[in-house]
Amino acid sequence: MASSIVLFGPPGAGKGTQAGNIVAITGKPQISTGDMLRAALAAGTTLGMEAKGYMEAGQLVPDDVIIGLIEERLTQSDANEGVLFDGFPRTIAQAEALSHIAELSVVIAIEVPDSRIVERICGRYTCGGCGAVYHDTFNPTASPGECDDCGHTEMKRRADDNEDTVLTRLSAYHSQTAPLADWYKERNLFVAINGDQDIEKVGAAISSVL
């Protein structure tokens, strides 16, 4: 069985950027439960239809359905050399189930202090014209209120990019992942990466692990 990788980190930790780097380095496809659910729904698979029933009823899709989707995904040819699990598992129960169908080589956690996460997320804004992403502190527009790429003058902020919402999301993340981190540490799979540094340095740290 080919070895797979798990990547997790809090919202705003730069997980998306580093996931792309890991895919480039290893050639392993990046998969998330959201992507799998959408693909299964579009394809009308048995598990996809089962998941749809739960989703339409406003319920969480049970772990056994999610694990079934993952098992199906691992049979596809591009997963022959393993995959990169993005944000999964989220609980010890999911980790235990995953251990029966996938072999892991490493679990990488990008760690960033909560205060920095709040600063990163709450400072984000996007161009209403082309969608370019900016930040009050780290990447402001050259001319205030005007997009550097397209010149549009309407800037938008997501309604949930506020401190209270971000702190609530972080609290949920920590309550879920703290026990999961300990579980993987006991199996000598867990590696923590300092995400509170330049993107290039984070990428170099992950590359050295890989």
CA–CA separation, 117 and 17 (whole Å): 15
Q: Is 73 a catalytic residue?
A: no
Ordered strands of the 3-8 beta sheet:
30-31, 84-86, 3-8, 103-111, 190-194
Q: Is 158 a catalytic residue?
A: yes
Q: Is 116 a catalytic residue?
A: no
Provide Rg for the chain, Cα atoms: 19
CA–CA separation, 201 and 104 (whole Å): 24
Interhelix angle for 92-99 vs 163-186, to 10°?
Answer: 40
Q: Do 183 and 99 touch, CB atoms closer than 8 A?
A: no
Q: Is 187 a catalytic residue?
A: no
Point out the catalytic residue in the list 38, 156, 158, 201: 158
Residue 39: exposed, middle, or buried by beta-carbon count in 10 A (0-12, 13-18, 19+)? middle
Query: What's the distance, CA 158 to chain centroid?
Result: 19
Q: Is 124 a catalytic residue?
A: yes
Residue 56: exposed, middle, or buried by beta-carbon count in 10 A (0-12, 13-18, 19+)? exposed
Point out the catalytic residue in the list 15, 28, 73, 120: 15
Point out the catalytic residue in the list 28, 90, 157, 185: 90
Structure tokens that stand for 168 in this block: 């609530």
Point out the catalytic residue in the list 28, 73, 124, 185: 124
**Active-site residue list:** 15, 90, 124, 158, 169
